[in-house]
Every structure is written in C-alpha cells, then in structure tokens.
Amino acid sequence: MAQRAAAALALLVVLLAVAPVIGDAQALQRLTVLSFDLGTDTPRPRAGVPFHLTLTLRVRERFGQIANIDLPGLAQLELLGDERETTTTPQGTQYRETVTVVAQNGGTLVISPGTLQAIDARDGKAKQWFSNGLTLHVAGAPSRAVYVAARTLGIALLWLLGIACIVALVVLLARRRRPAPRPVPVPIVPPPPPPAVVRTPRQRAQDALAVLRAERTRSAAIAVRAAIWRMVGASDGETLADVLRRTDSHDRVTRELLVALERSAFTYEEDLRAAIDDACGALERYIEDVA
C-alpha cells in the first residue's frame, strides 16, 4: 500500500515537471519555414538619418498572424517606428516587419539575427530559426546646414521639373489644336467708333418725323411708335394705358402724340394715311413744345 502511494506521488511530480514544456510546445505555431531574412534599404546609412530594417518570413501554411518572432537586438539604434504586415496567399503566408531606426553615431554596426520559435511542420519538433545578421557601416552625420540646403535644393528642383512638365504639356496641346498656318493678312484697323452722341428728345422726335414723312406705311408707324415709347421710358409689353399712367397728366402734347401713334399702329388700312398725318402733326407739335 505504501509502495503504491509512493509510486503515484512520483508520477504526479513527473507530470507537474513536464507540464510547462508541453504547454509551451502547444502555444507554438506549426510552420514550414521557407525563408527568413533580415534586410535594409541602405547598406551605408548615415548617422542621424533614418533608415529601415526589414524582417521577412515566408511559410507554407496560411495564418492570419505569425507569433513568436523576435526582432534582432537594436541596442545601438534608436527605434522610430515598427510596421507589421501579414499577407496570406494560396502559396502560404508572408510576414514582413519593417522597423524604422536611426543610428546616432558613425562606425560599424553589427545587427544580430531575428529569431522565430515554432514547431517544424516537417518533423513536428519545436525549433528556433534565425535570420541572417547584418553588418552596416554608418557614415558620420552631415552638418545640419548642408542637409537643409540639399533638401531645399531638391524641393526646388522638383518644383522646376513639375512646372517644366506642365508648360511642355500646354505647348503640346496648343500646337495640336492650332490649324495649319496661313498667310496672315495685314490687319485692317477699323477707324475708332465715333463717340456716342446722346440725342435729345427733340432730335429723336425730328428723326421719327423724318421717318414717318418718308415712309407712310404701317411698319414705319410701328417703328416710330416703338422709338417714341422708348424715349418716354416705356418698356416692351406695356399698353398705352400703362404709358399714359406714367406720363405727366399736364403734358398734353406728349399724351396726344402717344395716342396718335397708337392709332397709326392699330387702325384699319383705310384710316392709316389719316392716322399717319395725325401722328406727323402730333410730332410737329411735340418738337415745337420741347423746343
């Protein structure tokens, strides 16, 4: 009985000792690692100038997330940013982590490999993979003034290049639209228009009278009526009553003129000659009156 109890206790102790190892092994992902690389966007970074380190892992399995990757030691660098990207394709998964760093001092910089812990899907054993390491030669920091000047010059050059492109595009379009060149005739410069002469109501009435005397027709009567209506400030579409309402009620001569012109515009043919005579008489009286 005592022997059985001792054996059970020993088995419990063994199980408790093994449990963390089993637990860790179950948390690891089961991966078939195809490649695991560490790279940089510049082999010769400058002190004080940020650059990027990229850790890339490709595995055959498709996972939304890869765990247990450790970045290389970046003790000599200042970490400015970290960006992770996991891309899943039918061929597997690619994990890319890009860290932005800056070296504060010049000299040779040795960057240790990144590590990955996972269960190797090929044999089912927990393993640790190492990427390659990097040895970078950091140049000294450029002077601030030189850096700013170079940067300003670069921006100015970019602007100049952009403007040159736009000008070239405009010239190209203008040339395409322009018709074939023709012989350019000698431009004939018209004489400058005579200065606008403001005609007085009397002159306008005289013009109207001359027109009506020269052409005793309905169309001439209508044209004269329109001219006189404009002269007294009437607008299109108004009737005689509208115009008379605005005309000074004591201005008998103007009112008679408007009525006579209305008659010449709307009376019947047999009465037209008499109506035009009447309108001419009213115009004469108006001319005398405004004089």
Partner 1 sequence: MIVERQPAALRAALAETIVGQERVIEGLLLALLCNGHVLLEGPPGLAKTLACRSLAAALEGDFKRIQFTPDLLPSDIVGTRIFDQRESAFATVLGPIFANVVLADEINRAPAKVQSALLEAMQERQVTIGPQSYGLPDPFVVMATMNPLDSEGTYALPIAQMDRFLMKVNVGYPSREEELRILDRFAVADTQPVRAVATLDDVRRWRVAAHAVHIDEKLKRYIVDLVAKTREPSEFIDYGASPRATLALAFLARGRALLAERDFALPDDVRAVAPHTLRHRIGFNYRLAAEGISADRIIDGLIAAVPAP
Choose one: 85-93, 176-184, 194-202, 265-273; the region binding partner 1 (CB under 8 A): 265-273
CB of 166 to partner 1, least distance (A): 51
What lies within 8 Å, CB to CB, of 73 at 6+ separation is: 111, 112
Kindly state whether residue 233 participates in binding partner 1, applying the rule CB under 8 A. Answer: no
- The residue range among 46-54, 192-200, 202-210, 267-275 that interacts with partner 1, by the rule CB under 8 A, is 267-275
- Inter-residue contact 243 to 228 (CB < 8 Å): no
**One of 68, 86, 94, 267 touching partner 1 (CB under 8 A):** 267
For the record, the structure tokens of 165 come out as 């492109």
Give, rounded to a whole angstrom, the gap between the first and last alpha carbons of the chain.
Answer: 151
| Interatomic CA distance for residues 92 and 156, integer angstroms | 45
Residue 268 engages partner 1 in binding (rule: CB under 8 A): yes
* Dihedral angle, C-alpha 36, 121, 127, 35, nearest 10 °: -10
**112 half-sphere exposure, CB direction, 13 A CA radius:** 9
Q: Which helix (H) or strand (E) holds 100?
A: strand 92-103
Total residues at interface with partner 1 (CB under 8 A): 13
Q: How far apart are CA 97 and CA 67, in angstroms?
A: 12
Helix (H) or strand (E) segment spanning residue 33: strand 33-40
Determine if 219 is a binding residue for partner 1 (CB under 8 A). no
Nearer to partner 1, 228 or 287 (CB): 228
Q: Is 240 in the site for partner 1 (CB under 8 A)?
A: yes
85/242 with CB nearer partner 1? 242
Q: Are 69 and 161 in contact (CB under 8 A)?
A: no
Least distance to partner 1, CB of residue 222, Å: 8
Which CB sits closer to partner 1, 258 or 287? 258
Q: How near is the Cβ of 265 to partner 1 at its closest, in Å?
A: 8
123 binds partner 1 (CB under 8 A): no
Q: Does 238 bind partner 1 (CB under 8 A)?
A: yes
Question: Which range touches partner 1 (CB under 8 A), out of 80-88, 185-193, 205-213, 235-243?
Answer: 235-243
User: Is residue 23 close enough to count as binding partner 1 by CB under 8 A?
Assistant: no
CB of residue 206 vs partner 1: minimum separation in angstroms?
Answer: 26
Task: Please report, as a single letter, which amino acid is at residue 44.
Answer: R
145, with CB counted inside 10 A (0-12, 13-18, 19+), is exposed
Which residues in this chain contact partner 1 in the complex, by CB under 8 A?
236-241, 262-263, 265-268, 271
